[in-house]
């Protein structure tokens, strides 16, 4: 009987990762989207405070970059919540 209990103890001690390969791929895609969004927000300022630079109000900074950042956060949440097919 002692050998039977050892077998069940070995099965209970098996190690498995919480995330699968798919989760990590989605996380990487989210990180890339976030980095790209923040890079698109850079620049547009003026060195001289008396000179107005309208480049900081272009569509890249007002629309494209925030959308990419939001998509990046959505991808990160999806990567955490994604549960693959169980085998």
Spatial distance between the Cα atoms of 60 and 82, rounded to a whole number of angstroms: 31
Mean pLDDT of 19-47: 91
Q: Which pLDDT tens digit goes with each residue over 46-78? A: 778 888 878 888 888 999 999 999 999 999 999
Spatial distance between the Cα atoms of 25 and 23, rounded to a whole number of angstroms: 5
What are the boundaries of each domain within the chain? Answer: 19-81
Spatial distance between the Cα atoms of 33 and 79, rounded to a whole number of angstroms: 13
| Contacts within 8 Å (CB) and 24+ apart, 49-52 | none
Q: Please give the radius of gyration of the chain, using alpha carbons only, rounded to the nearest integer.
A: 24
Give this prediction's pTM. Answer: 0.74
């Amino acid at each position: 009987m002692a050998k039977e209990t050892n077998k069940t103890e070995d099965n209970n001690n098996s190690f498995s990762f919480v995330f699968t390969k798919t989760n990590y791929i989605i996380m990487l895609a989210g990180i890339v989207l976030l980095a790209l969004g923040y890079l698109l927000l850079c620049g547009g300022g003026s060195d001289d405070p008396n000179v107005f630079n309208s480049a900081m109000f272009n569509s890249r900074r007002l629309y494209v970059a925030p959308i990419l950042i939001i998509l990046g956060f959505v991808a990160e949440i999806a990567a955490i919540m994604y549960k693959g097919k169980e085998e």
